[in-house]
Structure formats: structure tokens, C-alpha cells
Amino acid sequence: MPIINIDNKNYEVKEGKNLLEACLSLGLNLPYFCWHPALGAVGACRQCAVKVFKDADDTKGRIIMSCMEPVKDQLRMSIDDKDARNFREHVIGWLMTNHPHDCAVCDEGGACHLQDMTVMTGHSYRDYHFTKRTYNNQYLGPFLNHEMNRCIQCYRCVRFYKDFAGGKDLDVFAAHNHVYFGRQQDGILESEFSGNLAEICPTGVFTDKTLKQHYTRKWDLTSAASVCQGCGLGCNILAGERYGAVRQITNRFNAAVNGYFLCDRGRYGYEFVNSDQRIKTPMVHHGPAEQSNGIPILEHVHHRIVPGKTIGIGSPRASLESNTVLKELVGADNFYLGVSAADHDLVSLSLRLLRQGPVRAASLQDAAAADVVLILGEDVTNTAPMLALSVRQAVRRIPVAAAQQQVHLAAWQDAAIREAVQDDKGPLFILSVQETKLDEIAQGAWHTAPDNIARIGYAVSHLLNDTIPEVTGMSEQGRDIAATIAKTLKSAAHPLIIAGYGGGSEAILKSAANVAWALHDLGIDAMLSFTVPECNSMGLEMLDGHRLESAVERALNNGVDTAIVLENDLYRRLNQHSADLFFSNIKSVILLDHLYNITAEKATIILPAGTFAESDGTLVNNEGRAQRFFQVFAPATAVQESWRWLLQVAAASGHTTLSSLQHLDDVVKYIAATYPQFDGITTLTPDAHFRLAGQKVPREPHRYSGRTAMLANKNVSEPKPAEDEDTALSFTMEGYRGEPPSSMIPFFWQPGWNSVQAVNKYQVETGGPLHDGNAGKRLIEPNVNGHTPFYTEVPEPYLPLKEHLLLVPCYHIFGSEELSIHTPGIAARMPAPYLLLHSEDAKRFQVTEGHLLHFMDNGHHYTLPVIINDTLQQGVAGIPVGLPGMQIAEAPQLIKV
């Protein structure tokens, strides 16, 4: 490793980095703006100036930008040099000539990189006494504020939005000191990753608009490490609360999962926690429990638990702890997975494929490092948005190696590498039912029915391994596509095959596994990524249980007296007819959930269940990674974790094993001991007894203000702070001030680093993993040595039928997920229900765009306005999934219009 000399001290640093990265990785303070570990260096802001010297005798040296200078053995440099310090201070001085100094009213204040860097350089007096230039701000949609006067023109926003995330509607306009960052005209930012601008922007130009609705300074937030509930990827988040409301979600860096970024559903989908539809008190027969004859609520529940006649319905959006406790409470025979038949089939198949096959599941980090990507049947941007961002990085990264050969520069030389790369893209192939957003960066994108997609998958696998049967009756075009894909995959080192729930087809999943396994047999390090619909879909499937339809059947056969429904709206799992049947054939429904919904209307007893923000628990993501999320705040209401409610119910009923469990650690240990598939979840985070220097880890920064006053309007006595008996975190500002274990970091803060950029200080090296490794533990590892037989049951080709259409599911990042739509901004971006048709089919059924079309599914009538989409195969119709108020339709299925 090269040795560099910084201010007369030698340091061993990593080869291939730039000097800024090297300094920050060493823990040295050096201010910067335009550089970002995920974006590389462009040398725009000139903030990271240092001096370099020719040799030990050179006393004059010269100023260079550390972000643009590669590490070189024996290099001598100085951060502390007088000229370098002077220059850095003046860079801030220049930036401040137009910055409005409005920190007091700026949402970024207190968590502002510009503030931190200003203090770091020592710039404290303004010499500029002329007028400042001013800009008009833009309306950018429901997620981001725009305040251009604060802009310091670091160009990070466009580099993230355009270059990194592939957005098209944010750019830099004009020239000289009039440069403007925004949209061409006012309007909603189109990218699904726009919210990251709030973190990428080093000052208050782009700030979180949802935070503004209930603004709180970062130092006044009670925060905790959490895991996103928005999809099955399990991105790491930080959630902050004040006055009982979640105020903001920000990224929690995890190198293996989401890195520095989140999607907009994940960042903004938290408002359901604060919804006025929240269930906050126990209810019996739709009245508050206290008024129900004075009987304690647990008694009400206990009375209704009839052994053998009580079933539990689990949930893919509830924690492993809650699901497991429910399963134990009702007994394995009576535990049903609260998921639709299609989701269950697809997720359980995904799990089987990952466990039995020789190919590992890719993390998001792995996906970004793939050198060929094949997507089968999945609209990744809408079903697993951050995976789409990883795919974009893979496609961007692949040609970089060749460009580096040409220009002999490190990959962090962002502008030079982009210039050398030009429009070259890595190989991405997409087969989907309709055009997807990633098509624009794909080498090939084809649209056809799910079975036809699977057939191409099978055909590809046949070309990779001729023991897999040939697909007969394939069109010439299909054969060409398969040949192109197979040829590219064969030459890959780390190809990634993506499929999942979005395609709605088991055949696609099997064909994807075939391709990956065939590549594996060729000695290629292939990876699989199967998307799953919800945050704990995989965990629930691993826990195992009966199908939800059997619960309905059992109810119809008078086999159920009481159903305990865990965090679930069964009307999103069953069609209305089945759900109605189920509820009308059982005596009592005990529901634990957050929000009042249709299922709640059917409930006899409702227990207010904590959301992620009020709960501790564990989730398993689509790659089988178990991750702990921590309670953010102690609710002032009866809301508590579902698992705690269920433990209390168990205790009230004298349940043998569960009665002894009380705290999170008890439950976690119990799960690990009882279910070998979850062995290891005890090590996800330190247990509740963990202490650092004898202290707990505080959820509140030491600058947390108003604790003695914030409730004074209710009671002049300061209430006793809540105590956390489940974890090593405290709900207060008291506790250990140093760096906690990475799995429980409640906020990123270091002296002098108040903004999100403080994460540098928690990393082994800039952009690298956190100090004690990436949080989370993979529970599913491939069966590397075993040999799994390939799938051979190639589906028949789908050809358009005369009187029928094949209904396929269409997912929407904004709209298809149950809880996030309670954020008004997300609801505003949700599509209205529709039926997607090819124009030829529209002609056939004599409708045009906007016309209503009618069809029936399982006795339910659907009447939907038509949207024409000619990227669909003829004979295929798309229907949106999960939109509120829309009946679920089985898809894929044939419908008669």
C-alpha cells in the first residue's frame, strides 16, 4: 500500500483513491462539496484544496484539488498549510457572496454540510458588501422544496439525478454566476429517486417537503435505525420523531444494501404512521375497550381464543417476531400466511429456488456490480425501485473498465470517464409485458406475454446447457433474442438474472433459475435476484404456514370460531367475495393493525399495533437478509408491537411456552432456538444488556432541546422519559456519545459533521462499509454442492385469443403499496384505475382511450377506463395492482371482455 505524507506524518493509504478520499478515510477533516463517494470527483467546487510538495526540500509547494489527485506512493501534502487553508476559507467566502445566510429559516439548518464546511474552514466574517443575485424557485412536486438562492452550484444534484439515476428532467441552465439548477419548467420531478436530492444537496436548495409539513430540526429528532417497509428490498433507513409524529425518513448507509440512497416510496411513504386513520386504542365492537363493560381488553381476547377453533393469519408486512408469536400462539396447524395465492406461490417458489439451487441471491450491491443483467418479466422500477437503481449502476459501470484502459484514469474521475465512455452501456436485456423505464438503457428490450417471456428464458437456458430441452415452436425472432442473450451471458463473469413477483408467473421464475443454474454449471459466477412484494414477504414464507384460501375453506366448514388477523387487510389478499365469505363464517375477528380499513370494519376486537416506528422487530428481505429495525419513539397511546400484544394475550391465556417471553431478546432467542432457518438473528444487533462505557445509546442528540418544556402546556412537571427495556437504546439524550455498533446507529453525527455527510466518519473508508461491517445477516445461502435438476416444463406459447384477453398485473411505485399511499404526495402521484390495451385489441372491442370496458373475474364485475399501450403484446391486457378501492383481480388469468 502506498505511503503518503500528510503534514509531516506518514500514512498508509489505499491504492487507486484520490487524496480527498484518502484523507477522509484516515479520519482527517478536509472540506468538500462537489465530490461524493457514489458520484466521484469533478473538481468543480475547489473546496478541497491542499498543498502538495515535490519533495521534503520543497517548502513552497503548490495548491491542488485533493479530489482530482490520485494517491501516489511517497507523495507529500499538507492540509494545514497556510495558503491552502486561506484558499479554502475564501472558497466559502465566494460561495457566501450569494448564499442568503437564511439558516435560521432554512430546513437544512443544523444538518447542513455548507454550515459544517463554513465552520471547518474558519470563515466567519463577510467581506462582500454588494447585492446578491436572486432566483425564482420552482414547484417540483409533492416531495421536494426548491430554494435556488441557497445554491452553491456544486453540480451534485444534476450529477446524481441525470448521470447516476438516469433522470431526464433536472438540469443546469444558463451560465456564469447565473447557473440555475432545476426543471425546464415548473412541474413534478419524474425520477423515482428524486428525494435523494435532499441528501445529495449540501445545503438547503432541495429539501424534504414532507418534513416541512411538520418541521423539526435534526437535533430535535428522536431517531432510530430502521428498515424500509416500502417493498421487499429492505433498504436501511433512519426515522426521526418529535411530538409523537414521524417527521422524516433519511438514508441509513449500508454498503451491501441501499448504499447512500432511497427511492421516493421509501423516503416519503412514512406518513401512514401519523395518519388520522391510525388505531390508537383497543376497540371492542367498534367502541373503545375501556367502555366495554370494564373488562380488560386482554380478557376480551382471551375469552375468544378457543383451542382448535382459533386460527392466526400472519402478514408479510409484520415483523418476524409478531408472525412467529402468532404462529406459536395458535399453533402451527392453525397458522395461515396472510398473502394472496399468487404472492404465496411466487415467493415460496423464489425461496425454494434460492435454497435448493447453487446460485446465490444478489444483494443490491452485488447487482450494481453485475456485468450482464437479464430481467425476466419484471418492471423493476415499480416493483423493487432500488434494484432498478442498482441495475442502472451496473449498466453505467461496465464500460468504465474499457474507458479506463484508454485514458489511464481511476473510475472516480467522473467527468473524464463519462467522456471516454460516451453512450456505451453495459449489456442489459429486458423481457417484460410492456415497456418499462429501464428499457431506455437496455441493449435489448422485448415485450410479450408472461408465458412467452418464460419460453425465451427456457430457450436461453437450453442454449447454455443442452440437457435442458429445446423450446419448440419458437418464432425466429424469439430464437434470435434467446441467442443474443445466451451469447452475452456466456461471456459474462458476474451475470445477474432478475425475476420476481411482478411478472406474476412461476414459469418465469423457473426459467430464470434455469438460466442462472446453467451459467453456474459453466463455471460462471451467476446471481439471481427475485423480487418479493413486501418488507417481510420472505421472512413470512421462511416461517411457513398454510395458504390463506384454506383458512377461507376451513371457515366455510365451520372450522373457525376466531381469527386473529395480524397487520393485514384481507381484502387486499382475497377477492371481495372470498373475504366476505370468510368473515361471515367466523364468530370473532381479532385484528392487530395500524390503520382503520375494511378488515377493521369486520373486526370484533382491534388491538392498536405499532408501526415500524413504534416497534422493534426483524424483517427478512428478498435476498434472505435478516435486518433489525428499532422502535423510534414510545407512543403516548396504547399502541405497542403486535408481538407484545400477542405475548400478553398468551400470558393471559396461560400459554406454556410464550408466557415466559417478555422482551424482544426473549422472542428473538426463542425464534432462533425453535426455527433453525432463523438461526443467527440473535446476532443482528447487540442485545438489551449491551452497554458502551456503561451507558445506553441515546436516540436523541445531545443538543436535543425543549425536553423540560415541550409538554409544559399539559403538565408543568416534566414526565419521566420512557424506558426501553427491549434494546440497548435509550429514548433520551443521555447515554454514550461515541460511535455505536453499526446496526443500531440512530443518527449520523460527529463533532463538526452535523449533516448526513457525517456518515464518512462511520465508514472503514469513504463509500466503504460501516466500521463493524454492514448490518444484517443473510439467512439463505445457495446449495453450492448439490445439484438441482433443471426445470423442463416449458409453457405453451401465448397467442392472442379471439374472445379473451390475458390479464397481467401492472405495479406502480406510487399506488401499489398499501401503507405508503397514506402520504398525500404519494397518493397524488398514484394512477387512477385503468385497463391497459393494445390499440388493435381496443379496435377489436370497439373502444378508444378513456372508454369504459367491462369484464368479470370470479363473479366480480370490473368496469375500467381503457388506456392504450402498444408495447403490450396483442391479446394481453394490463391491470394495476393494489390501488385503493380497487378489487383485486387474479392476474395473470384469461378474461372475457
Give the residues lining the site for other proteins (CB under 8 A).
Answer: 42-47, 49, 62-64, 68, 86-87, 90-91, 94-95, 97-98, 127-128, 130, 152-153, 155, 168-180, 183-185, 403, 406-409, 413, 415-416, 419-423
Quick one: 49 or 497, whose CB is closer to other proteins? 49
Smallest distance, Å, CB 790 to other proteins?
A: 41
Q: How far apart are alpha carbons 84 and 77 in whole angstroms?
A: 10
Can you tell me which residue has the cell 478541497?
48
Residue 345: helix, strand or coil by DSSP? helix
Smallest distance, Å, CB 174 to other proteins?
A: 5
Quick one: 55 or 423, whose CB is closer to other proteins? 423
Q: How far apart are alpha carbons 563 and 848 in whole angstroms?
A: 46
Quick one: 43 or 469, whose CB is closer to other proteins? 43
Q: How far apart are alpha carbons 457 and 485 in whole angstroms?
A: 9
Quick one: 49 or 362, whose CB is closer to other proteins? 49
Residue 650: helix, strand or coil by DSSP? helix
In the sheet that holds 625-629, the strands lie side by side as 617-620, 625-629, 777-778
- Contact by Cβ (8 Å): 114, 94: no
Within 180-274, residue ranges assigned H as helices are: 197-200, 209-213, 264-268
Quick one: 404 or 874, whose CB is closer to other proteins? 404
Quick one: 128 or 139, whose CB is closer to other proteins? 128
Sequence-distant (≥ 6) Cβ neighbours of residue 351 within 8 angstroms = 538, 541, 542, 780
Give me the amino acid identity at 110.
G
Q: How far apart are alpha carbons 370 and 494 in whole angstroms?
A: 5
Smallest distance, Å, CB 45 to other proteins?
A: 5
Q: How far apart are alpha carbons 606 and 563 in whole angstroms?
A: 12
Residue 498: helix, strand or coil by DSSP? strand
- Contact by Cβ (8 Å): 167, 189: yes
CA distances from 750 to 34, 240, 754 (A): 21, 18, 7
Q: How far apart are alpha carbons 105 and 112 in whole angstroms?
A: 13
Sequence-distant (≥ 6) Cβ neighbours of residue 107 within 8 angstroms = 145, 204, 207, 208, 211, 212, 215
| Closest to 369 measured CA to CA, from 248, 494, 187 | 494
User: Max Cα separation, the chain?
Assistant: 92
Q: How far apart are alpha carbons 603 and 617 in whole angstroms?
A: 25
The x, y and z cell numbers of residue 494, run together, are: 458476474
| Closest to 814 measured CA to CA, from 408, 23, 263, 315 | 263
Smallest distance, Å, CB 129 to other proteins?
A: 9
Smallest distance, Å, CB 416 to other proteins?
A: 5
Smallest distance, Å, CB 403 to other proteins?
A: 7
DSSP 791: P
Quick one: 69 or 818, whose CB is closer to other proteins? 69
Quick one: 177 or 674, whose CB is closer to other proteins? 177
Q: How far apart are alpha carbons 392 and 411 in whole angstroms?
A: 16
Smallest distance, Å, CB 207 to other proteins?
A: 21
> Interhelix angle for 476-490 vs 450-464, to 10°?
50
Quick one: 129 or 802, whose CB is closer to other proteins? 129
| Closest to 866 measured CA to CA, from 882, 853, 878 | 853
- Contact by Cβ (8 Å): 807, 892: yes
Can you tell me which residue has the cell 433443471?
790
Q: What is the number of other CB atoms lying within 10 angstroms of the CB of residue 843?
A: 12
- Contact by Cβ (8 Å): 682, 669: yes
Sequence-distant (≥ 6) Cβ neighbours of residue 852 within 8 angstroms = 863, 864, 865, 866
Smallest distance, Å, CB 50 to other proteins?
A: 12
Quick one: 189 or 548, whose CB is closer to other proteins? 189
- Contact by Cβ (8 Å): 870, 834: no
Quick one: 101 or 587, whose CB is closer to other proteins? 101
Radius of gyration of the chain (CA): 28
Smallest distance, Å, CB 153 to other proteins?
A: 6
Q: What is the number of other CB atoms lying within 10 angstroms of the CB of residue 53?
A: 17
Quick one: 441 or 518, whose CB is closer to other proteins? 441
Smallest distance, Å, CB 392 to other proteins?
A: 16
- Contact by Cβ (8 Å): 230, 195: no
Smallest distance, Å, CB 30 to other proteins?
A: 16
Smallest distance, Å, CB 105 to other proteins?
A: 23
Quick one: 42 or 460, whose CB is closer to other proteins? 42
Smallest distance, Å, CB 34 to other proteins?
A: 9
Quick one: 91 or 543, whose CB is closer to other proteins? 91
The x, y and z cell numbers of residue 610, run together, are: 405499532
Quick one: 141 or 880, whose CB is closer to other proteins? 141
DSSP 763: B
Can you tell me which residue has the cell 415499480?
382
Smallest distance, Å, CB 413 to other proteins?
A: 7
Quick one: 176 or 861, whose CB is closer to other proteins? 176
Residue 136: helix, strand or coil by DSSP? coil
- Contact by Cβ (8 Å): 336, 311: yes
Smallest distance, Å, CB 410 to other proteins?
A: 11
Quick one: 87 or 675, whose CB is closer to other proteins? 87
Smallest distance, Å, CB 162 to other proteins?
A: 8
Smallest distance, Å, CB 409 to other proteins?
A: 6
CA distances from 430 to 85, 377, 382 (A): 51, 8, 14
Quick one: 54 or 787, whose CB is closer to other proteins? 54
Smallest distance, Å, CB 566 to other proteins?
A: 45
